[in-house]
Structure 1
Amino acid sequence: MTQRLTHRLGVLLLIAVTVLAAAAGFVLVSGQAAVVITHGVSMNPVYYQGDLVIVARASSYSVGEIAAYNLPGKGEVALHRIIGGNRDGFIFKGDNNQSVDPAKPRGDELVGRAVLHIPQGGLWLETLTSPPVLGLLAFVLLAGGGAAATTRHRRKRRRATLSRHISTRPARHQILGSLPSSLRISTALAAAFALMGIAIGVLAWSGPLEEPSTSHIKTGTRMDFSYTADVGQSPAYDGTVAKSPDPVFRKLANKVDVHFTYHGEPGTVTVKADLSAPGGWRSSIPLAGPETVSGPGYEGKVTLDLKALDAKAQAASTVTGLPSGPLTIVVTPQVKTSTGADFQPGLKLNLTPLQLALAGGPDTLTATDTTTTEQIAITPRMLGLNGVNITAIAARIISAVLFLAALTIGAITVVFARRTAPADEAAAIRRRYAALLVRVHPMPAPQGRPIIDVTTFSTLAKLAERYGLLVLHWTRAGVETFVVQDENITYRYRPGAGPVPAEPQPELADLQP
């Protein structure tokens, strides 16, 4: 009962190890989880250099959680704490940093939140996945089988030189066939895991973890303009507010609010108004800024004093003698992004003594910049495994997991192979020495021929090997008999204790195939 219970527990443990190994490989390959090895001091004292953190994808993220996201254009992962924002754009900051992160990734862009922390685990992982250690694991896995095969080969050569070239080594299919079905499956599973670990390990270690890559980045920066003016109740407008693209009549309003909405990378924005007259006079007036643009959508507003702008142009005309109108006004929000790009869209308006009107059609209220730039970045090296792309570091981890799973399954198989030996000694002899035994009909003891009973079957097997003979085997009255007949002596072994029944009348031994 104890052996049966132990066997069942071992099978359950084997299944659990197999499922865990398969689940770990699937989760890493599918991208539902990732392994992050920390560098730097931005998250001290929570994480230190060389720690290992497992991050898993989540349906939602909250302020206060530690999460990982890909740094734009760098091929690296940042592991910081969420301090604000929402799924449309989270704000991150390292616990040991003085400023917030410039990037504000969306919820669907996050790699995952931290679920497991192993101090200094990254250093251990890099050691375990190094080529010397993987080679040592492969050697340990295969050493037992190689040593056993070498020993059997030496015995075979020794027996071949002694006599008759009779081999007592069971064939490989007999060895596997003698094992219980559960152990045969576990042996095949361990071998499969080991081979997969070797194959994936070779691919993972045949190149670096990272490699340079060239990417073409198309920027979709956009600025949307609009303007409004309070005009009161009058027959000129349906309501009390004049809106773009309609003109603003100066008799009803002399102040116009210009609105702009920016869509693009974070940076700073400064707003100015450029004035110009037909005679060549020009002037620039600062209106607002600089202000920080956190993105991805920034809304701003400036107010144009039409009387003040007209008075400035009239003053210049008095000095220069050039005509002061009509006056052209270009409102320009200048955005300098964190990557160094400069975006300067302009809203062009015409000012006359009667009205302020949009220069151009309604399509001029939107300005876009779709320039394409080439960027070289260091990105993780990707491996293609049966149509699935994974990073080199993930492949190294998977290979190590497969090796450990193979070693674990192999060790469990060896332990239970020893414990599942049959309780019946005769059955154990038939299983172990199948190639040495020949089953015959019961034989009488030859007259005048001495019979020597040996105490163990191993002694009988050694005698058979020495003389190059087979062991004759029969069962009569529930008693198993094994004999080796030399030219003058019969060596006999009977498993178990008990009285020996009388031999039958002489009859010829009839060998059975």
Structure 2
Amino acid sequence: MLRSFLLRPAVMGSALMVVITAALWGIFAPMPFGGRTTYVIVNGNSMEPGFHKGDLVLLRPAQQYTVGEIVMYRYPGLGPVIHRIVRQNGTRFVLKGDNNGWEDSYEPETSEIAGTFWLHIPRVGIAFGWLREPWAAAAVAGGTIFVLGVLMLKLPEPRGKRETPFWWKGWTRSASYWLARWQEPYFMVMYILAAAGIVLGLFAFTRPALRQVADNLPYQQTGYYVYYADLPVNLYDNRRLESGDAIYPQLNCQVNVLFHYQLLSAAEFAGGGSYALQARVRDAAGWHRSFPLGEAANFSGGDFQAQQVLDVCAAQRLITEMEEMTGVQRPQYYLDITPNVQVAGTLGGRIIKTDFAPALSFVVEDQQVFLNTTAVPGADVLRPSAAGLLEGSRLEANTLDISRVRIPVNTARGLAVLLVVLSLVGLAVPVVMLQQAEKKEEKLRAHLVAGPKLVEAAGSLLAFGDRTVEVRQLEDLTRLAEKAGSVVFFHEDPPWATYLVRENGVSYYYRTLSAANRDSAPEVGNWGEDLVRALRNDELVLFYQPSVSMQDGQISQVEAFLRWQHPERGFLMPMQFLPWAEKSGLVQFIDEWVLNTGCLQLRRWQDQGYLNLPLAINISSYELRQEGLAKLVETVLKRHELSAEMLRVEIDESDLSLQPAILDNMRQLKAMGVGISITAPRGESLEAVHSLLDVDQVKFGRNMVQQVLATESNSQSARQWIHQAHQRHIKVVAMGVETQEQYGFFQLSACDEAQGFFISPPMPAEDLTRALKAGPDFKNPALGNGSGGAA
């Protein structure tokens, strides 16, 4: 029995599918939806022969990127580009297409790269291009809607009502009842925990806890050139030549050149180096002559400043000598100044050896020497810089990437073990409960073993003439029900308990002695048979109670109330027989009868000219939980040719927080146009109610109405409650109004409608029809015209 109790293939399969789906989503989820995968369709030939136009490429982000990897980045003004890293330039990467003869002009940083190549699916992009055609998109959308529509035609079968736990009978029994009611979701959660722990463990225990990652140390070398000279004539406003100005050798041959160097890094530098400023004259054809500017010098630390004098006239003399010797004259020559910096030491504890020789270039003409601003395109020739990178690596904790969340491998291992242990403990708990149930109560045992498939029968399960097969163990019967997808019927008639499964016209049953504990729920008796007879013999009737407008006292809506004219027990109220209807599985038929009968009467009133009379119907909480409720209401409305706006479904506010299925059904009804009315016996927060459901009207419960005048605090709370409802555009109806004082209070408090015996008791349809015919003559007592029951 324990094997059948714990190993449920359908639930285990569903749990495994949930975990697999979650794992696949975590792996393949796109970046815009919280995942870590980027999908790109190749739209060019720059990466041939590896990738072709129309291929789908999947990329995933990495903590670091290395030379040789294929990555995707966004080229400014162009869009996504998939190319290969060919080298690294400081903190930036140089990329090139495999089929290109040139490198990309844009060099992205690590933060600008979306991801590295992961998967490649050829030609898939062609299908996406095909789907962009209007006719193809329409065909796919139409086919999808058709398939979904066909799948939705199969409505789920209604389930029997589970027994409410009796908390005063002990924690074991109460917890067991809870598990019996929710065991499929419970086992689903336990299996999901187990599967998730195993899957997570497969990833965590097959990866090393530590990994070696790049720990590169970037640095920047910068220089700052300044040149200046005094002028003997008033050529400039301040009689001084500044950086950027043209130099005129015939006025002044001597120019002071200052160079400031800095090594910048977040790490500490220890060491120094040497420098030697040098000048060189050259032409465009390749001729050049060099001469030093001062002596070579050493420096310590990461910066120094050097100043020398540049003799421009000496540079011109070298040019003149070359022209006289060769007979070649050119209109322009170039004069370059380089610092030739050599750096050695340690940076952040790592050895660094580097050089820095940016040229300050001048154009030399016959009469002037001026700064060559085009020597380095896009750069400031007076402020040169060069990025550098000291490569290194370090060990760090390895991680798993789960939907943009990085979890250390050791943490993932511990979490995997914890999930498996929790699932094992969680599966052991119902085993203990089952053992306790076998000793105490047969019905509880039945719920635990069969779970949602259990259907309690009111009478004997076996009848004369049935084809029957008795099985030896309850486990065999539950396994048969699981395989056939059928329910397990259960009936207890002390001292015997009978379980039965019907398949292909054969009744398979298991009979055993009841457990020792006999404090089961009261016997159903003959209520089931009586209710079936009542439905067949039209013993059920509907009474209708009108609500009146607080403004003019006219009937504004009608609420239907169920009654049973029992031939032996007399006139019965719903609370006297509906619990037994739920017990016997007949409540759904009663709800359908109430809905159909109420709508039929509403149709009759509309045929008589009362077109604006909404009808409110109370549907049992059992029916409100069924998935087919909205479809049933739609069918009945179409049958009687009624607009959905003329029907209102009432629900108690307590069901909103306890029954999510009811909320789903009410939202579907609201979408159809059916009005939603909430009965609030406790007067809880309207904000909480309205956040769960779009409500049309709220009804004060009878208890609230009776106590509204008891204290000033109650009165003030009621006024505030009405005010809050009106702020949310919700109408308020006071139920159970029985006195003139109550009616007057709600009228002065701007309540919209009132309902109760002070206005009119529930009455048969023919009596209310006469009241409707009376028209303006129907007045409630507050307006001075009798009881208001009939015309």
Which TM-score tier does this pair reach, normalised by the shorter chain? 0.3 to 0.5
Which structure features the higher share of strand residues?
A: 1
| TM-score, normalised via structure 2 length | 0.28
| TM-score, normalised via structure 1 length | 0.41
Q: Say which structure, 1 or 2, has more relative contact order (CA 8 Å, 6+ apart).
A: 1
